[in-house]
Structure 1
Amino acid sequence: MDKKFFQLTFYNILANLTVPLTGLADTAILGQLETHTFMAGVALSNVLFDYLFWGFSFLRMSTTGLTAQAEGNRNTIESFQILLRSLVVASLAGFLLLLLKYLIGEIGFSFLQGEEEVKASGYEYFHSRIWSAPGVLCNFVLMGWFLGRSKSGIVLAATILANLSNFLLNIWFVLYLHWNSAGAGYATTISQYIMLIFFLIPLTKERTRLGEVYDKIRIFSLSGFRSLLSLNSDILMRTLLLISTFSLFRNYSSGLGSEVLAANAILHELILVGAFWIDGAAVATETISGTLKGNKDFEGLKRILKLGIISGFAISFFFCFLFLGFSERMFGLFSKSKQVVFLAQEYGYWILPVLLLGATAFIFDGFFLGMSEGKTLRNSMVVSSLVFFLPIAYWGKLEASNHILWLSLTSYMFGRTLTLGIIAYKKFFVRKALSL
């Protein structure tokens, strides 16, 4: 188990390192322009994409956990059934977002705070990136399915290809064609469809198996979708609360001025990088815990949880040491504005408590996702967002204090760790048996 965990963690970290590069590439390349308006506009627009795209990240999470459990039961037919049904949901949702793109844009930007030039830039980015919706959602499903089958190498190759494409297209569209924020959006859209095509290539080798599965089950039966949508509804609520927390943090930041918003956008992207590093261990925990649940291995579940928490904390500490040790040089890569870099340095040390507390929360997330305990994750997120985050964040808004805003994010991570930790302790270290 230990060998498999570290192997999956290694591949997942390599794959996850490339995931936040989408946002980092947009931020860094737009930061090379003479004005920070375009960078701030993309940061504002990403509030909407956090809802639209990461709101559907339950497609990745539920697919990984359910697939891992099916693999643990050695039920190949169920594994492919999960893939096909999840792809149906992803495709329908993606095309629905395209149909409603103008309405979503108008309503979304009416709620966002920001200077007019910043909002105009964000609006251009939104309408160029929204075309990636079907590709992004299908990629969530395919990524989750390959991770659930412990095929992290395929996910690694796909994410490297997509993000390399995004980076090169960003340089071309933004710096050479001068399409500014719209160019960054088009680069991201094209890279997502490149990723989708790559994911579909390994499935061509499975076409015989897919044909067998389609013959043996009714893909579109209501009973087949019921269990999938039931789990997804809990994870969806959990994810929407998570996104709302970070979106509110970013929206409150915009009320402190475009320079503070730009500085917080840089720090937010760095936190995402750190989170994706830690998520390598979290996804490995998710995959193995799902398989162990399928095998009904209670002692194995306890061991993988301990191993995941230790690994997650070690990864977060290393990340903080690496980035904060070179903060001045690091922040200078993202913006030519001396004031933005200065502000990023002033508030940069909040990365440390946010990620150190967040590391354990991310591992708990992966653990409970692997066991498909959506209600546990939903309830924890309700308490963390409404009790540990919101009152402090609103206080920061009233006081116009960015330090208090960062304190609210730190408290939020503490709340997630505390609530999930209590549940895990009661289930696995107080009770001597668990119904799996």
Structure 2
Amino acid sequence: MPITTQDREILRLALPAFGALVAEPLFLIADYAIVGHGLGTTAVGALSVAGTVLSTLVYLCVFLAYGTTASVARQIGAGNHTRAMRSGVDGMWLAFAIGVALIVICWPLAPAMVALFGAAAEQSAEAVTYLRISLLGTPGMLVVLAGTGVLRGMQDTRTPLAVAIGSFALNAVLNAWFVLGLHWGIAGSAWGTVLAQTIGAAVYLRVVVRGARRAGVSLAPGLSGIMQAGTAGLALLIRTVCLRIVLLVATAMATRLGTAELAAHAIATQLWTLLALALDAIAIAGQAITGRSLGAGDTEGTRAATRRMVWWGLWSGVVLALVVVAGRPFFPGIFDADPQVTAELLDVLWVVALFQPVSGIVFVLDGVLIGAGDQRYLAWAGVWTTLAYLPVALVAGDLVVLWLALGVWMIARLITLGGRAYGTRWLVTGG
């Protein structure tokens, strides 16, 4: 099938988005390498515990990017750049307020949060140190999320890619300097992360402030706009919590199955996550394109773009499935898996490959409905699909069945999202 103008627009948005999504895990690997080389195993364990807490907090706040993308893109499509920048400014104020609240709430709770992981005393002490320092960077981290949403809504995914690469490269340099050069210990790694996040946030602030001044928009917080962004964000938060519950239950059930099963599950989950980043890039394009076209009142264009992005999602999933099948004999060796883990992993990878095409369509439809501002439906769909998943997961007697339960979840999402996209209730036009 020939590449159309619409395809070029999808790729223009999706490819830089994919680069930005992949940049973070690659530079996190560098952080682990620096800490492991300079401080040893105990510090790596502490970094893992504190990092898990921080990543969970950020994961739950991803609505700041998604909600802002949808609202800004809709106003851009409607030709109202002033309201677009107003939405962007309010979204960034909301992000800053949530970041400050997380510091106030999580700082005294840091020891209790770390204790949930059952780490040894020395690891726990270092994890608390890392977590408390890193919390100081959460306002910047969340402002980056909101700023990313503003630029995506303005149909710009290249600037977020540049900021992501710059921020994570700076993070790696600062970590190396503070940990290996100045010998600040694990606190040095945390301070490097805080400074990199804050500088990244400053870049987004500069871009948004410049755009707001051009549009004649006040930089003062607008209470009604912040409340509106928070209301939309609450629905997306419910959706995100449902996604997190599915992943947590899967890990808990794998733990009950045995050590080899848990190790194989961890490897398969990492691979699934990497594949999801590729598919999520198309979903980000879907958010931006859908919001803009509905803002312009173009329902037929929205339908056409959705069909084309579903096509891209489907065939991207097929390609990724073939990659998994082709790489299946080699993945266990990459992770130095023992024979029992290898046997479990080889079986599970068939399931991972099987559901990639379904995942491709689901990710696109999820992005399209987020771009349409259909957050309330997505929240309810998240609840119902989680309820469809839990009974199968909780009776899983082996790892393959547990991953088939994840497949049931993906099919349930395909049904709920596909049914909604086929209808017309989400096609709300205008600013």
Coarse TM-score class (shorter-chain normalised):
0.7 to 0.9
- Distance in 1 of aligned mates of 2:263 and 2:35: 11
3-state DSSP of counterpart to 2:423: helix
Displacement of 1:142 after TM fit? 0.3
> Does residue 1:131 correspond to 2:133, yes or no?
no
**Residue matched to 1:292:** 293
**Residue matched to 1:406:** 403
**Residue matched to 1:225:** 226
* Structure 2 residue identity aligned to 1:369: I
- Distance in 2 of aligned mates of 1:206 and 1:317: 40
1:213 to 210, 217, 225: 217
> Does residue 1:421 correspond to 2:423, yes or no?
no
CA contact (8 A) 1:19 1:159 kept: yes
3-state DSSP of counterpart to 2:85: helix
- Distance in 1 of aligned mates of 2:347 and 2:35: 22
CA contact (8 A) 1:70 1:78 kept: yes
**Residue matched to 2:392:** 392
Task: Give the number of aligned pairs.
Answer: 422
- Distance in 1 of aligned mates of 2:13 and 2:155: 7
The 5 A counterparts of 1:28-427 are: 45=50, 47-109=52-114, 111-112=116-117, 116=120, 120=124, 126-127=131-132, 129-167=134-172, 188-203=193-208, 205-206=210-211, 208-209=213-214, 212-214=216-218, 219-221=221-223, 223-255=224-256, 261=262, 263-322=264-323, 324-327=325-328, 335=335, 338=338, 342=342, 344=345, 347-387=348-388, 389-396=389-396, 399=397, 401-427=398-424
- Distance in 2 of aligned mates of 1:267 and 1:8: 28
Displacement of 1:129 after TM fit? 3.7
Displacement of 1:261 after TM fit? 4.5
Q: Which runs of 5+ in 2 are unaligned?
A: none
Q: Which runs of 5+ in 1 are unaligned?
A: none
Displacement of 1:24 after TM fit? 4.8
- Distance in 2 of aligned mates of 1:39 and 1:351: 29
- Distance in 1 of aligned mates of 2:20 and 2:239: 24
Displacement of 1:418 after TM fit? 1.3
Displacement of 1:317 after TM fit? 2.8
3-state DSSP of counterpart to 1:214: coil
CA contact (8 A) 1:128 1:183 kept: no
RMSD: 3.7
Displacement of 1:422 after TM fit? 1.3
- Distance in 2 of aligned mates of 1:179 and 1:39: 15
CA contact (8 A) 2:316 2:357 kept: no
* Structure 2 residue identity aligned to 1:326: G
* Structure 2 residue identity aligned to 1:95: V
Q: Deviations over 1:206-227 (max 9, x none)?
A: 36326x2118xx7333x33332
CA contact (8 A) 1:90 1:141 kept: yes
* Structure 1 residue identity aligned to 2:84: S
Displacement of 1:199 after TM fit? 2.6
Q: Deviations over 1:61-110 (max 9, x none)?
A: 11000000000111111111111111111111111111222444344445
CA contact (8 A) 1:254 1:260 kept: yes
Q: Percent identity?
A: 23
Displacement of 1:325 after TM fit? 2.9
3-state DSSP of counterpart to 1:427: coil
Change beyond 3 A, Cα 1:288–1:108: same
CA contact (8 A) 2:286 2:306 kept: yes
